[in-house]
Amino acid sequence: MNELVPTPEGSEDKEKSAVSGVIFFVLLLLVLVFAGFKSYQWLKDEQRLPVQNIVISGERQFVDDDKLRAAVHKALPGSFFDLDVDVAHEVIEARPWVYKASVRKEWPNTLRVYVTEQQAVARWNDDLLLNTHGGSFQAVLPEGQDNLPLLYGPGGSEQTALQGYRAMQSLLGKEGLAIEQMLLSERFAWRLTLVGGLTLNLGRTEFIDRVQRFVDLYPLLTNNERYLDYVDLRYDTGMAVGWKSDLERSKENNDV
């Protein structure tokens, strides 16, 4: 004959309470997951959290703020939450006239951009500009501000050309002369054309010393009624001088 074993008092209630607790925990977990998923979707929704403000700062003269903002919006059309600061940084630094930029997000809908603008000091090979560091970049100078010296040279020689230009212009400036055009050949020979048309052939070596020699003798060369056409300084000592003919000088006067 089987005997019924009495159930301990309260054990059934404890089991029910434990089951209820597990169910509550599972439900709570599901609610949290669902809420997190909906929050993530909400944050990603461009219409709910768009990048409304792109605030640009820094001294700038040529950077077009509206075009910069448009470029960022086009490249990164998503929400504030999705916006990749590194990609925004690349897009901004790829804009004409932007030398460097720093970018940061500011909650809830602002992108702050600090721009360091390119400083053009010379034109390079007709279609580029050189900045103060000897780096080349592509941009269009506004009308009336394109009177920069024109430098020519082989690819990769930008810094060498700019350093040479600065050193020689420093010497020539003492006599009130300015370089209008400078050519650095494939063999790294230097030739200058000064404002007014005077050409200086300097050769490959000791070009700074040769410019100094020209500067020293310049007052003597101009102390007559003739006009200089070219000066060839590719000699260890001395120079060869060419003079403009009366016909050439008359033509120049008529063209002015």
The C-alpha atoms of residue 184 and residue 163 are separated, in whole angstroms, by: 12
Task: Tell me the per-residue pLDDT of 209-220, one tens digit each, with 9 for 90 and over.
Answer: 999 999 999 999
202 or 43: which carries more pLDDT confidence?
202
Q: What is residue 27's predicted lDDT score, i.e. its pLDDT?
A: 76
- Report how far Cα 104 is from the mean position of its chain's Cα atoms: 18
- Report how far Cα 166 is from the mean position of its chain's Cα atoms: 21
Looking at residue 15, its amino acid is: E
Q: Where do the domains of the chain lie?
A: 53-117, 120-255
Task: Tell me the per-residue pLDDT of 104-157, one tens digit each, with 9 for 90 and over.
Answer: 999 889 999 999 999 999 999 999 999 999 999 999 998 877 899 999 999 999
- Secondary structure of residue 219 in the 3-state scheme: helix
Q: What is residue 34's predicted lDDT score, i.e. its pLDDT?
A: 72
Q: What is residue 143's predicted lDDT score, i.e. its pLDDT?
A: 82
Within this chain, domains 53-117 and 120-255 share the same CATH topology: no
224 or 134: which carries more pLDDT confidence?
134
Of the candidate CATH numbers 3.40.710.10, 3.40.50.11690, 3.40.50.10860, 3.30.497.10, the domain formed by 120-255 belongs to 3.40.50.11690
The C-alpha atoms of residue 234 and residue 187 are separated, in whole angstroms, by: 14
Q: In whole angstroms, how far apart are CA 47 and each of 66, 84, 139, 226, 232?
A: 21, 18, 35, 76, 70
pLDDT of 88 > 90? The answer is yes
- Secondary structure of residue 168 in the 3-state scheme: helix
The C-alpha atoms of residue 180 and residue 193 are separated, in whole angstroms, by: 6
pLDDT of 159 > 70? The answer is yes
Q: Which residues contact 93 (CB under 8 A, 6 or more apart)?
A: 99, 100, 101
Band the pLDDT of 50: cuts 50, 70, 90: confident
- Secondary structure of residue 70 in the 3-state scheme: helix
The C-alpha atoms of residue 27 and residue 38 are separated, in whole angstroms, by: 16
Of the candidate CATH numbers 3.20.130.10, 3.90.105.10, 3.10.20.30, 3.10.20.310, the domain formed by 53-117 belongs to 3.10.20.310
Least confident of 70-84, 127-141, 179-193: 70-84
The C-alpha atoms of residue 84 and residue 204 are separated, in whole angstroms, by: 49
